[in-house]
Amino acid sequence: MQVCYDLETGAVKFTVDGDKIPPALADDNWVATSEVNLGDLTAWRVMDGVLVLFDLEPMRLAFRAAVNVKRLEVITAGTDVTVTGHGMVALQGRPEDQTSLQGLAFGAQLRLGIGDSATLMDFLDRENVLHQLVPMQMLELWQMGAGFISAIYARSWAIKEMDPSTTDIDDPSLWSVGP
C-alpha cells in the first residue's frame, strides 16, 4: 500500500492499494507500507519516512461508537431465561419490549400488594409463545431481563477499555454474560 502525506506536517492525505504510485501523483510525498486498515487517517502521521500511529483518540472514539451499536444489537436479540416453576422464556430487548415488561412487572407488584399471588398474567415472548405467569414469576422474569441488560452494559464498558486495533467486537465470547 502507498501512503500519500503532507511533507510539512506528516498528515496522511490518502492511500493507494498496491505498489504503484499513480503517475499523475508522482510528485507528491509517498511512503510504502504493508496492507493494513488504517481506519481514520487523521490518527496517522509519516515521521522520518515511517508511518506511525500519532493519535489514538479518533480510533478510540470510532471503536466506542461501534461498541455502542453492537451493545444495542445484543440487547435487542435478547436472551433465554428460566422462570422458576414455569420454564424457559425467550426475552427480547427492544425498547418496546423493555417498556412492556416494566409495565407487567409494575402490575405484578400491585397484585402482590393487595395479596393477589394467583392471577395469571400473559407475556408473549420473542418466539411468539404465550406464557401465563403468576405475579411472582412475572417479577422474576422482569428481574432477569433487567439483569441481562445491566450485564450487557457492564460488558460493553469493559470492551470499550480494550485495544481498539485488536479487539473484534463481533466475537460472541466478549458479550457472554453467563447463565
pLDDT at 19: 81
Query: Are 41 and 59 within 8 A, CB to CB?
Result: no
Residue recorded with cell 515511517: 50
Q: Which of 172, 146, 154 is nearest to 74 (CA)?
A: 172
* Cα gap 131→122, rounded to integer Å: 6
DSSP type of residue 40: S
Predicted local confidence at residue 177, as pLDDT? 86
pLDDT at residue 58 in the model: 77
pLDDT of residue 179: 59
pLDDT per position in the chain (179 positions), as tens? 888 888 888 888 888 888 888 787 778 888 888 877 777 777 788 888 888 777 777 778 989 999 999 999 999 999 999 999 999 999 999 999 999 999 999 999 999 999 999 999 999 999 999 999 999 999 999 999 999 999 999 999 999 999 887 899 999 999 998 75
Contact criterion met (CB below 8 Å) for 5 and 29: yes
Q: Where are the beta strands (DSSP E) in 42-162?
A: 44-47, 50-53, 79-83, 87-91, 121-124, 130-133
